[in-house]
A and B are shown apart, each in its own frame.
Chain A
Amino acid sequence: MSFRAWRLAFKMQRLELLLFAAAAVALVVASLLIARGASEARSSFDACVQASGSDAGCGTSPSLNDFSTLGGFARLGAFLTPYALGLILGIPVVAREIEGRTAGIAWTLSRSRTRWLIQRALPLMVVVIVLATAVGIGSEFVTRTNPFADYAANPGFADYTSRGVLLPVRAVVVLLLAIAVGAMVPRQLPALLLAVGVTVALFVGLTVGMDTWMTAEARPIPFDESGRFGPFSDGPRIFDVAYREDATGKVISMNDFYNLHGDVALPDGESDPPGFTQVAIGIPGDQWAPWIARESAVLGALALLSGGLATLVVARRRP
């Protein structure tokens, strides 16, 4: 690809690219500041608790709650980033040319329509990968410095849809999907609305599919009652809570338990019925990497399909 093609691709969507770049930089800087602030506040709180033996009078300003709330906003921004990038940058690639009646000229001037599409889409793909990766890294810091968890070493599945490698992969899928929808519905706003609907349906389907897959491979995870931040420390993905029969080790769902035994009065001070122990059903946090690889592979296949569809539609449609 020539330098001229790259420059043209950026010029076509200058304002959108500038806005997204500015928003991504702001989000990354905010994430890093929140992570640093949360980390310092937590250290100061922990040191105070250790020195005084109590958490009274150890509050920080801004408080740990404030950092938790700010971190939530940063993670929400990171979660939305791939969708916003992909949809807003992808839709006009073909739709604006057809809507503005310039597609005929653009396609005739290029060696082939496929080549034209690649020249338009490739620079955008690079931009969404760079921006989404930067946001994903910023968000990774926010998760690892969560003031109410010990995720510094391994966050596992905690906030896994709003951090790390999944963000650029999702952004590429949404970009190619939006280009395909824009090529099929050559009016920008209707195409955007349709692409939003298709993206929501696709990712809800993907989430349900992945959850079903994970549920099938989920296993009992014992509660750790001594944990400082709840019963799980390494960010497992929990799908259900069940009872394990102490004598046999057999795991029985809550619903089945109530159907079999009805409401059982719990002994004083006990949280489990006699002879049973509550366990979580899920995937341990140390299994995060292989599962992300699987989800990325599924998303990669979807990206190839979307790209192929966009190429096919552009090659065959009237200008």
Chain B
Amino acid sequence: MSRIGSWLILSFRLHRWEVLASAAGVAILAAAMLWFAWQLRTLAATDPSCLDPAGYAPGCTQLGQRFYELSSKAEWLSYLSWLAPFAMGLVLGVPLVSREVEHRTAAIAWTMSRSRTWWLVGRAAFLVVVMVVLLTVVAVVGEALASATMPAQHLDRDFTWYGRRGALIVVRGLASLAIGVLVGAWLGRVLQALLVAVFASVLIFSAISLGMDRWIEGDAVVQKFDADRAGGRQLGERILLPKGELIDYGELQRRGLAYEVIQDDLLWARPEDIGHMDRLIGYDRYLVVPGSRYPQIVLRESAVVGGAGFLLALAAILVVKRRRVG
């Protein structure tokens, strides 16, 4: 048997339960998502005009209601595809080192290998391959379900279902894998490491998410309150002051600029001020990242998450190299 073949078999045997559970989970999720996509496409094909969000078509109530009910259920599956990379990364990553340490087989495994780093890279490479294959399925099927749920939207430039479809799923999975391996190597006990890795993942990914939200504010444009924001990433309401400064409602309150009336998109302190532009508080506006920026934002977040994952993987190598075997 070739070296690659024996590496594959050994790696699979070591992680059989986790890999089979992940594969079964992805198979069930993908099958369910494809079934919903097929149902939605069949329904949409019966009368495409009924799904035109721009207008009401008579005789469409029942079809529209059925499509809405089905797509609402399908949306639940999209949350599972959001969760899949985190769950899979931790379930596969945590036991990689911790189980060897807990079972006291780490000493044998590490002595038999050329180096601890070499051993870790060999074991992790198999899991990376498994994760990339399985999560690519989730990412692609997620795109298919999204396009069936929103047939009128151009999803290649649309933030709807952000992180629940497409390449970000795969990158997040690999970063979670790195977190799992690092925490597992550090603690050396499977369940404790899993628990700590869950907390660590929540913290790390929340921090990345908050940081990204601040970063993409630079890509946002100010839109009128009643403008079409379809496909854009909405960052919330803002007030455009007459001097051109853009502030949020919290800042407006901190500055003591109380308003009593919003007429059209104009904020006035009192009803009697309406029409006196010199007494205008500001314009009600929306801060939106346009849908056309979707590919760049995904690429940017993928780079950040991927970079963080790479650093965590390096840290895991360092921990494995330095830790005691038991």
Q: Mark A residues whose CB is within 8 Å of B.
A: 15-16, 19, 23, 52, 54, 56-57, 59, 61-63, 88, 91-92, 96, 99-100, 187-190, 192-193, 254, 258, 262-263
Write 8 A-B pairs (CB below 8 A) sorted by A numbering: A56-B260, A63-B250, A88-B195, A96-B191, A188-B190, A189-B95, A192-B194, A254-B65
Given contacts A59-B249, A190-B17, A258-B61, contact A15 B261 (CB under 8 A): no
Interface flag for B59 (CB, 8 Å): yes
Interface centre among A19, A57, A92 (most CB of B within 10 A): A57
A187 and B253 alpha carbons, distance in the complex (Å): 57
Q: A52-B260, A61-B254, A190-B21 are in contact. Are A16 and B58 (CB under 8 A)?
A: no
Name B residues whose Cβ lies closer than 8 Å to a Cβ of A: 17-18, 21, 58-62, 65, 91, 94-95, 99, 102-103, 187, 189-192, 194-196, 199, 249-250, 253-254, 258-262
Q: How far is the CA of A189 from the CA of B95 in the complex (A)?
A: 8
Closest to A265 in B: B58
B269: nearest chain-A partner, CB-CB: A57
B196 touches A187 (CB 8 A): no
Instruction: Provide the residues of chain A in CB contact with B260, threshold 8 Å.
Output: 52, 54, 56-57
Contacts of A91 in B (CB 8 A): 191
User: Contact: A56 with B61, CB < 8 Å?
Assistant: no
Known: A19-B199, A92-B191. A263 touches B253 (CB 8 A): no
Candidates B61, B95, B195, B249; contact of A63 at CB < 8 Å = B249
A263 touches B59 (CB 8 A): yes
| CA gap between A92 and B21 in the complex, in Å | 19
B194 cross-chain contacts in A, Cβ below 8 A: 88, 189, 192
Contact partners of A54 in chain B: CB under 8 A: 260
Q: Which residues in B have their C-beta under 8 angstroms from that of A258?
A: 61-62
Q: Tell me whether A263 and B18 are in contact (CB under 8 A).
A: no
CA distance A88 to B61 in the complex (A): 48
Q: How far is the CB of B35 from chain A (nearest CB, A)?
A: 17
Known: A59-B253, A61-B250. A16 touches B195 (CB 8 A): yes
Contact A188 B191 (CB under 8 A): yes
A6 to chain B, nearest CB (A): 21
- Name B195's contact: one of A19, A61, A262 (CB within 8 Å): A19
On chain B, the residues within 8 Å of A189 by CB distance are: 17-18, 91, 94-95, 99, 190-191, 194
Say whether B191 contacts A16, CB under 8 Å: yes
Query: Nearest Cβ distance between residue A296 and chain B, in whole angstroms?
Result: 27
Other A-B pairs beyond A16-B195, A91-B191, A258-B61, 13, CB < 8 Å: A57-B258, A57-B259, A63-B249, A63-B250, A92-B191, A189-B17, A189-B18, A189-B95, A189-B99, A189-B194, A258-B62, A262-B59, A263-B59
Q: Give Cα A306–Cα B18 distance, bound, in whole angstroms.
A: 24
| Residue in chain A with minimal CB distance to B236 | A65
A187 proximity list for chain B (CB < 8 A)? 17
Closest B residue, CB atoms, query A259? B62
When C-beta atoms are compared, the residue in chain A nearest to B268 turns out to be A56
Contacts of B250 in A (CB 8 A): 61-63
Complex: A263 Cα to B60 Cα, angstroms: 8
Specify which chain A residues have a CB less than 8 angstroms from the CB of B187 in the assembled complex: 15
- Chain A's nearest CB lies how many Å from the CB of B142? 20
* Residues of chain B within 8 A of A23, CB atoms compared: 199
Q: Chain A residues near B17 (CB, 8 Å)?
A: 187, 189-190, 193
How distant is the Cα of A100 from the Cα of B105 in the complex, in angstroms? 12
Q: Which residues of A contact B189 (CB under 8 A)?
A: 15
User: How many angstroms between the C-alpha atoms of A190 and B191 in the bound complex?
Assistant: 11
Contacts of A92 in B (CB 8 A): 191
Tell me how far the C-beta of B222 lies from the nearest C-beta in chain A, rounded to whole angstroms. 20
Q: Across the interface, do B62 and A263 meet the contact criterion of CB distance under 8 Å?
A: yes
- Distance (Å) between the CB of A121 and the closest chain B CB? 16
Contact for A263 among B61, B91, B99, B259, CB less than 8 A: B61
When distances are taken between beta carbons in the complex, the residues of chain B under 8 Å from A96 are: 191
Report the minimum CB–CB distance from A157 to chain B (whole Å): 20
Q: Which residues of the partner chain B approach A56 to less than 8 Å between Cβ atoms?
A: 259-262
Q: How far is the CA of A91 from the CA of B194 in the complex (A)?
A: 13
**Separation in Å of the A145 CB from the closest CB of chain B?**
21
Of the candidates B21, B99, B195, the one whose C-beta lies within 8 Å of that of A193 is B21
Q: How far is the CB of B252 from chain A (nearest CB, A)?
A: 8
Residues from chain B with Cβ under 8 Å of A262 in the complex: 59
Tell me, rounded to whole Å, the shortest Cβ–Cβ distance linking A21 to chain B. 12
The minimal Cβ–Cβ distance linking A258 to chain B, given in whole angstroms, is 5
Contacting pair A193 B58 (CB below 8 A):
no
B189 to chain A, nearest CB (A): 8
A203, chain B: closest CB distance, angstroms? 15
Compute how far the CA of A19 lies from the CA of B21 in the bound complex, rounded to whole angstroms: 27
Chain A: CB-nearest residue to B92: A189
CB distance from B108 to the nearest CB of A (A): 16
Task: From known contacts A61-B253, A193-B17, infer whether A19 and B196 are also in contact, taking CB-CB under 8 Å.
Answer: yes
The answer to whether A16 and B249 touch across the interface, beta carbons within 8 angstroms, is no
A88: contacting residue among B191, B259, B261, CB under 8 A: B191
Interchain CB contact (< 8 A) of A16 among B18, B61, B62, B192 = B192
Most chain A CB inside 10 Å of its own CB: which residue of B62, B65, B196 = B62
**Bound Cα distance A61, B103 (Å):** 53
